[in-house]
Chains A and B, each alone.
Chain A
C-alpha cells in the first residue's frame, strides 16, 4: 500500500434519486468485486439517515467508530475503517449517527473522502435517496458517478433529475446501471426497453442487472453475491460492472433479446466453440 506509486483514486458516487432501486446492493457487490480484482477499495456509507451498507456487507457487528468520530478527530481513520474478513482489499467507512445530517457540510464530506482516497484505488459512495442535502453533500465529494435505475417511469424520471444535478456540478463521467430487468416483460414490451432507457437518459450503460432472487438470499446472509464467485445472473452482472470500470471492454448484453430455448442455446454453443456462423 505505498502511496508513492499509486494513481489518484477513482471516487464514484452511487446514486439514483428514487429510493429502493438498488444503490446499496450495487455498492456492496461492486466493492467486493473490485477488491477481488486486486483494487484497494473503500465503500463509504453516505446514507447517514438510514444506513444499511454495513448490513449488506455483513459487517454490522464490527463497527466501533464511524465517519463521525473521524471528522471530530476523536479517532484515526484506520480505527474507523472496517476491513472485510474474507476480502481484505475492501474496507467500509460506516455512517455515523443520523443526527450528523444536522451539521454535516459538503466540505466535511470532501475532507473525509480525501482522507479515504489517499489509501484507495476506488472509493464508492453509497448515496441516500432524494436530491436534498444528503445527496448534495455526497455529490460534492465525488468525481464521477453511477446512476442506477429500474426500467420504471418513476425511477427513470428521478434518475433524470439527478443526472441534471450531477451535470451542473461537473461530476463526470456519469454512467448508468439498469437494475431489476425482467427479460420476459421487456421482450413483450410490457416494460421499458434497454434502449428506451439509455435513449431517454442519454448515458452510457455500464451494466445491466436482471431481477434475481439470489440478491435477496445474499442480503439475508450479509454476503454479497460477488463474494464467493456465485454464478447467479446478478453476480455476473456486478462482476462485469467492476471490470468495465477498470477499462475492460465487455459488451452489455440485452437479456430481452437473448435467444431462448434449447435449440437457440445449442446454436449459440456451437457458434461460440467453433466460431462458425
Chain B
C-alpha cells in the first residue's frame, strides 16, 4: 500500500482493494452463475414489469429486478412498489391472458424472490465458443 493509498483510506475516500475485489466478484458471479448478461437481464426486467402491471399498478421508475447471490444460490429478486391493485374485471382478464385458473390475491406479496438454478446448465452445445 502506498502512502497515498494509506491517506486516502484514512480519510475514508477509498475502500481497501480486498473489499472492492469481493464486491466486484459477487456481482460478476451472480451473472456468471445465471448465464444472463446485463442485456438479457434488462429485457427480462421489462417483461416481468409488463406482466406484473397487468395485475397491479406499479411504479416503473422505482421497480428493481436484480440478481443476488448467496451460498452458491442465485436468486432473482424483484422489488416492485405497488401503487394499487387493478379493478377486478381487469384482473380476471389478465389472469385469463396468462392462463391462470383464477385471479390472484390483490394483496399479493410485494417482493418476489425466485431461486434460479444454482449452476449453469451443462454446456448448451459443443460449438458454443463461450
Residues of A within 8 A of B (CB): 152-153, 156-157, 160-161, 163-164, 167-168, 185-186, 188-193, 196, 200-202
Contact = CB atoms under 8 A, between A and B. Distances in A.
B111 interface: no
Contact of A202 (B17, B18, B32, B72): B72
Contact of B22 (A160, A185, A200): A200
B71 interface: yes
B19 A189 contact: yes
Nearest to A161: B32
Contacts of B25: 153, 156-157, 192, 200
Interface in B100-130: 118-122
A153 B33 CA distance: 15
A160 B16 contact: no
A160 B29 contact: yes
Contact of A192 (B18, B28, B121): B18
B40 interface: no
Interface residues of B, number: 21
A84 B85 CA distance: 75
Contacts of B33: 160, 164
A252 to B, nearest CB: 19
B83 interface: no
A152 B45 CA distance: 32
Given A189-B18, A192-B18, A202-B71, A157 B29 contact: yes
A168 B24 CA distance: 25
Contacts of B72: 163, 201-202
B32 A168 contact: no
Contacts of B119: 164, 167-168
A190 B32 contact: no
A191 B29 contact: no
A192 B71 contact: no
Closest 4 CB pairs of A and B: A189-B16, A189-B18, A202-B72, A164-B119
Contacts of B10: none
Contacts of B71: 202
